[in-house]
Amino acid sequence: VPQLGPQLPPRLTQQPWHLLYSTGRDGFSLRTLYRSGARPDSPALLLIKDTEAQVRPCPPRRWEPLRTPRRESPPSAPQAFGAFSASAIRSSSGFYGTGETFLFSFCPELKVFRWTGRNDFFVKGDVNLLMVGGGSGRFGLWLDGDLHHGGSQPCETFDNETLSHREEFCIQDLEMWGLT
């Protein structure tokens, strides 16, 4: 996704990124995503499209006055969201990652949610759940072990908006990009 290039750490902008995992190619499995072939020191970019991406317009931004007509995107406009981690996505017993981690959404333009410094709940995953960002029992982004369902809530780590149309969503497509 070219729009994300300027948001990445400078050391990564000229690196060759490769598609490491895709639900369309590899099936829906968090275990398979973890075994995707990324180098242990490889950053990871998760790109998600939920099942409502093609049928619902973008929600209004919270700063828009209610009386202003909402600019709706065409139904065919790609609407996606996801996360960047400077560390490889892997199964772990605790949170890992760095302050370079961020969440993002396209609806329809790019919006990036960077680390607030309030906590270090960057990434944590096991075979049943992958979480990015957290605090007070809420996760900026979470995905279940079957990669069929996920969720997004405002969280302390990134002070993000809900990334998807709803706090819980069904995954249509998921890709993970990284360095090999």
pLDDT digit string (tens) for 63-89? 333 333 333 433 434 479 999 999 999
> What pLDDT sits at residue 4?
92
> What pLDDT sits at residue 66?
35
Average predicted confidence (pLDDT) for the chain: 87
Report the distance separating Cα 30 and Cα 23, nearest Å. 10
Answer whether 96's CB lies under 8 Å from 117's CB. Answer: no
> What pLDDT sits at residue 64?
37
Residue for token pair 């829906």: 28
What is the pLDDT confidence band of residue 179, given thresholds at 50, 70 and 90?
confident
- The closest alpha carbon to 20, from 2, 48, 44, belongs to 44
> What pLDDT sits at residue 155?
98
Report the distance separating Cα 14 and Cα 61, nearest Å. 33
Please say if the pLDDT value at position 142 is more than 50. Answer: yes
Q: How many CB atoms lie within 10 A of CB 83?
A: 30
> What pLDDT sits at residue 52?
85
pLDDT tens-digit profile of 100-109?
A: 999 999 977 8
Please report, for the chain, how many H helices and E strands are present, in that order: 2, 10
